Amino acid sequence: MRTTTLGSKGPEVGVIGLGCMGMTHAYDMNAPRDDDTSIAVIRQALDLGMTLIDTADVYGPYTNEELVGRALAGGHRERAVLATKVGLQLTDPTGGTPTSPGAVPNGRPEHVRRSIDESLRRLGTDYVDLYQLHRVDPQVPIEETWGAMAETVRQGKARHIGLSEVTVEQIERAQAVHPVTSVQSELSLWTRDPLAEVLPYCEEHGIAFLPFSPLGRGFLTGRFSSFDDLPEDDFRRRLPRFQQDALRANLAIVGRVRQVAERAGITPAQVALAWVLAQGRYVVPIPGTKTPRYLADNAGAADVELSPADLADLDAMPAPEGGRY
C-alpha cells in the first residue's frame, strides 16, 4: 500500500488505516463476538499495509484495547502505528455508545494521567504512537486537558497526541500548548462538515486528518436498503439518517455511488474511500470491519484514482436526510 505521514511531522502510515471499534462495540451487539477472526483481521490489515490501528479506552467497554493488544502481541506491535483515545467516561455499565447518554466527556488532567497507564496495560505495550482526546470536555479548559496529554509525550508513554471532533478554535488553543499531530472527525460522502473549515486548517498547518466512518457507517456500501436490514441491537437504529423515511431518501446517494463504481470497475466502498482520500495529502481514513473480505476491498481503494468527472459527480451529490446523531 502507498504511504503518507501523520501530518508533516508524524510517522509513516498506510494511506488507509483500520478502525477497531466495531469488533467489540456499537454494531450488531447481539451477534457472537469472534475475537479470533478480529485478531486475524488486524494482523491481515498490517500485512496489507494498513498500519494505523485505531481503538479507544471506552470501546467495549474497555475490552477493545485488550483485543487489539492480543492482536499485536508476538512481534506484531512494531509493525503498527497504534492509536487510542481518552476523554470519555462511561456512566452506563452496559457501555452504550460514545455518542449516547451512556458516556460523558471527562477531560480532567487526573483522568488523562490515570487512563494512559490503564490503556497501556490493556494494550500490552509501553507506549502508543498516537494518543487522542476523544471529546473536549466543556467543563475543563482544553489547555488543561491538553497539558496532561502533553505530559504523556514527555514521559514517553505517547509519541504524538491528537484531537477528535473539534473546531478550528479548539485546535488553535491546543496548538499553543503542544503540537497537534492529528484531528479525527467523521468525513464521508454523506458527512462533509469538516471540508468547510477544519480540514483546510489541518492541511495548511501540516496536521493529519483521520476520517472515521468514511463508509457512512456501512450505508455507502449499499448493504442497507431498509431500516429492517439493520441488526436488532445496533446503535445505527437510533441514528436519524437510518430511520426509514430518511434512509429511503438517502438511497439516492448510494445509487450515485454505484453508478460511479460501475463506470470505474470498482466497488462502492472503494469509491467512497477513494473520494475521502482525494480530500487531502494527510487524510488517512480508518474504515472499520470485522470481515477479511471487506478488509481487502477497503485496502484496494488505496490504488484507486477517481477521474475528474467521477469526483465532480460525487461532489455534486445531495446532502443526506437526517442528522448525524
Catalytic residues: 59
Nearest residue to 298 (alpha-carbon basis) of 44, 25, 56: 44
Report yes or no: 85 and 115 within 8 Å, Cβ to Cβ: no
CA separation for the pair 98, 103 (Å, rounded): 6
Nearest residue to 81 (alpha-carbon basis) of 181, 194, 206, 186: 181
CA separation for the pair 110, 118 (Å, rounded): 13
For the CA atoms of the chain, what is the radius of gyration?
Answer: 19
Nearest residue to 109 (alpha-carbon basis) of 80, 149, 67: 149
Report yes or no: 261 and 300 within 8 Å, Cβ to Cβ: no
Nearest residue to 50 (alpha-carbon basis) of 274, 286, 210: 286
